[in-house]
Amino acid sequence: MPEPVLVVDDLHVSFRGPDGPVPVVRGVSFEVHEGGSLAVVGESGSGKTVSMLAVLGLLPGATVRGSARYRGTELLGASQARLRAVRGAHLGMIFQDPMTSLNPVLTVGRQIAGVLRAHDRRLRSAAARARAVELLDLVSIPQPDRRARAYPHELSGGMRQRVMIAMAVANRPDVLIADEPTTALDVTVQAQILDVVTRLRREQGIGLVLITHDLGVVAGNADRVAIMYAGRVVEDGPMTATFASPGHPYTRGLLASLPRLDRRRDPVPIGGAPPSPSSWPTGCPFHPRCPLAVDACREAEPDLVALGDARVACSVVAAPSHR
Amino acid sequence: MRRYVLRRVAIMPLLLLGIVTMVFAVTRLTPANPLVTIVGERNLGNRVVVDAAKRRWGLDRSVPVQYERYVANLTRGDLGTSFRTRQSVGRDLSDRLPATLELTLAALVFGLVSGVGLGIVAARRRDGWIDHLSRLFALVGSSMPAFWAGLLLLYVFYSRLGWLPGPGRLDPRAVTPLRRTGFYTVDSLLAGDWNTFWASVRHLAMPAFVLGWGITGIVSRLTRASLLDELGADYVRTARAMGISERRVVAGHALPNALLPTITIAGFSFAFLITGAVLVETVFSWNGVGSYAVDAARSLDYPAIMGVSLLGGIAFLLTNLLTDLTYALIDPRIRLS
């Protein structure tokens, strides 16, 4: 297996709250290999986006602990100048809402050219513009030279998301972090956007971190999956194995809540609501909603332990008696 | 866009007619007698003189006839003759307009540049000492009446310290530069007369500061607030995530968006400048339209009042148009609709 390009180890993020610090991410670890892909799945508020923003140093005001290394270079606590050189050049990121994530007063060509020139000062503006048009072509935007002169409001949501992708891959990053890239889009457009991402990944060998709450998006677009709950990774493993035999009760619940065409059974929702960062439950944070919970779950928070090819943080399924 | 501008320009005469009609009505309803100015107080009892003056200035006609005549003359570009200066009002205004324009433009440039600059610094160093200082500066600037600030500055910097020259556009004995644009600064430069240029800039400094101070205040606070808003926007996060430098994020991405509300205010503040100019010109003996307006109002000089109002109206309409055009220039979303 090739060396990991991005290694995140025991990441903690907390924000200042009215009653002391609010822990939003509590010990998240994952790695992305060259050309590999990882899906980070979880409900809103599980800490997916915050983890990624923390890695890129884009969370002013938050307290970040742990380690995030890009090709051996520590990113947490690095100077803004150093982080700036990594962001957009080695680690690209695209965001959920393409309506608000592009600057309304600049043409998309200019925005892409800006990203190019931010990392290559010798690049002339004419050359940057020409390259911007190529990039628009790369993300399958028709009439790229005309579209380069368009403003974001003149493009559809899918087009804008393609523009975002073009910006993020403009400097050929090693890793593309896609934060809910299709959530704000129509279903038909979702598939097109995922196709573009997958194609770029194959053609350019870009590693992918796909953040989503939609397991349907994960299938076929990632080779590994990490399930997050309450600011922690509760299960990680190869995508196919995890989907075939989910270990953690939460993962099972997520899969059971998906409508499926190949089974004669209605989707089953997970009861209850996800907890809030200001009041995590004691013990295993999932125990109030867990069908398998026993008394011990209320007391100690389980760590990730190996279970077949995967790792699962659940003391019930990991117990020898359960296997 | 061109059609929009043409439409805006096309309705201007109608709006100006409205202004003329209203000012005409208000001046004629004022319970005072313009004849005091025309014939002088001593002659008010002299029927012969009064009747002759009334006939001479058309005041013997009914008000509707006076109005009709005024509008008819106006369409020929004739603004009438001032009761007081006995010169054509058009001539009076064009003599004095450059002085006012020079003053207001200097004030506007000072207000906008210093306001936007202070706003940026205050937003970047939020709650730092510059932020607090600029808040105080803004508060004082927008709450202190211009005439009072003017008198105060004159007292300190002219009378006490002697750092800046006193009232007037140049020293009383100085030779005014050959008139080309009517702007002393520009004309003296065109004539290559550096001494006069420097003197006119020094004379301009205090009144322009006093007049622009209020704008600095409003613009700096507004720029700070909207820049802080924009710096929290999604597209700014995108720009940062793409590795754009913080300087470019502020100047190239957030600022153009943040300036949109500022432009609106800058347009409005022109009205503030017009009224402010009346007071500042009086305090600084600035021989412009503002002091002309004050003299005209004092002596109920009908044609002069009408002329000044009309000029103010035109200036206001043009500024509004210019504001909208600038807006469209910056924000492409407005350009289309």
Model confidence at B116: pLDDT above 90 = yes
A99-113 pLDDT, tens digit per residue, is 899 999 999 999 999
Facing A101 at nearest CB: one of B234, B257, B331: B234
ipTM of the complex: 0.89
CA dist A33 and A174 (Å) reads 9
Asked whether the beta carbons of residue A80 and residue B332 sit closer than 8 angstroms, the reply is no
Percent with pLDDT over 90 in chain A: 50
Residue of B nearest to A102 (CA): B235
What's residue A322's pLDDT? Answer: 65
pLDDT in tens, A148-159: 999 999 999 999
pLDDT in tens, B317-336: 888 888 888 888 888 887 65
**Predicted local distance difference test score (pLDDT) of residue A67:** 94
Q: Which pair of structure tokens corresponds to residue A178? A: 């896609």
| Sign, Cα dihedral of B327, B329, B333, B337 | positive
- Tell me what pLDDT residue A76 has: 92
Residue A1 has pLDDT above 60, yes or no: no
Least confident of A171-185, B208-222, B268-282: B268-282
Reported as a pLDDT band with limits 50, 70 and 90, residue A84 is very high
Do residues A174 and A3 touch, judged by C-beta distance below 8 A?
no
| Residue A163, token pair as written in the block | 């523009």
Low-confidence winner among A61-65, A118-122, B33-37, B215-219 (lowest mean pLDDT): B33-37
**Chain A residues with CB inside 8 Å of B248's CB?**
114, 118
Q: Mean pLDDT over all residues of chain A?
A: 89
Q: What is the pLDDT of residues B267-304, one digit of tens each?
A: 777 767 876 788 899 899 898 898 899 999 888 888 89
The answer to whether B215 touches B107, Cβ cutoff 8 Å, is yes
Q: How confident is the model at residue B337 (pLDDT cuts 50, 70, 90)?
A: low
CB contact under 8 A, A88 and B248: no
CATH class of the structural domain B96-288+309-336: mainly alpha
Residues of A in contact with B253 (CB under 8 A): 103, 106
Q: Measured between alpha carbons, how far is A315 from A294 in angstroms, rounded to an integer?
A: 9
Computed over every residue of chain B, the mean pLDDT equals 87
Question: For A203-213, what is each residue's pLDDT tens digit?
Answer: 888 999 999 98
d(CA B317, CA B325): 12
What is the C-alpha to C-alpha distance for residues B260 and B230, in angstroms, rounded to an integer? 11
What are the domain boundaries of chain B? Answer: 96-288+309-336
Per-residue pLDDT, averaged over A73-98, amounts to 90
| Mean pLDDT calculated for residue range A178-196 | 87
Query: So what's the pLDDT on residue A210?
Result: 93
| pLDDT score recorded for residue B48 | 86
Under 8 Å between Cβ of A27 and A301 = no
pLDDT, tens digit (0-9, with 9 covering 90-100), for A260-299:
777 777 788 888 888 888 888 888 989 888 888 888 888 8
Q: What is the mean pLDDT of residues A241-247?
A: 87
Query: B229-241 pLDDT, tens per residue?
Result: 999 999 999 999 9
DSSP reduced 3-state for A205: coil
DSSP A62-97: -EEEEEEEETTEE-TT--HHHHHHHBTTTEEEE-S-
Mean pLDDT of all residues in A306-323: 80
The whole-number pLDDT of residue A255 equals 87
- Give the count of beta carbons closer than 10 Å to the beta carbon of residue B159: 11
pLDDT of residue A118: 93
Q: Do A311 and A234 contact (CB within 8 A), yes or no?
A: no
Mean pLDDT of B118-124: 92
Strands A4-17 and A37-41, by their bridges, are unpaired
Residues of chain B above pLDDT 90, percent: 31
pLDDT score recorded for residue A265? 73
| Interface contact A115-B244, CB threshold 8 A | yes
A115:B248 CB<8 A: no
Chain B positions touching chain A (beta carbons under 8 Å): 233-235, 237-246, 248, 252-253, 256-257, 330-333, 336
- Strands of the sheet containing A232-238, edge to edge, are A91-94, A175-179, A207-212, A37-41, A224-229, A232-238, A310-312, A305-307
3-class DSSP assignment, residue B321 = helix
Q: Are strands A232-238 and A4-17 parallel, antiparallel or unpaired?
A: unpaired
Instruction: Give the pLDDT confidence of A121-169 residue by residue, as tens digits.
Output: 899 989 999 999 999 999 999 999 999 999 999 999 999 999 999 999 9
Q: Where are the alpha helices (DSSP H) in A72-186?
A: 80-86, 108-119, 125-138, 144-147, 157-169
The residues on A that touch B, with CB distances below 8 Å, are: 56, 58, 80, 84-89, 92-93, 95, 97, 100-107, 114-115, 118-119, 151, 153-154, 164, 167-168, 170-171
Residues of B in contact with A115 (CB under 8 A): 242-244
B135/chain A closest Cα distance in angstroms: 24
CB B101 within 8 A of CB B319: no
Indicate the pairing of strand A310-312 with strand A305-307. Answer: antiparallel
Please report how the helices B12-29 and B63-75 are oriented relative to each other, as an axis angle in degrees rounded to 10: 150
Q: Distance between the two ends of chain B, CA-based, in angstroms?
A: 9
pLDDT band of residue A323 (cuts 50, 70, 90) is low
What pLDDT score was predicted for residue B336? Answer: 57
Q: Cβ neighbours of residue B288 under 8 Å, at least 6 residues apart?
A: B96, B97, B99, B100, B103, B277, B281
Say yes or no to pLDDT of B55 above 70: yes
Domains within chain A, CATH numbers bracketed = 4-100+175-283 (3.40.50.300)
Q: Which residue from A87, A114, A170 is facing B241, i.e. has the nearest CB?
A: A87
State the DSSP string of A4-54. Answer: EEEEEEEEEEEEEETTEEEEEEEEEEEEEETT-EEEEE--TTSSHHHHHHH
Distance from CA of A15 to the nearest CA of B (A): 16
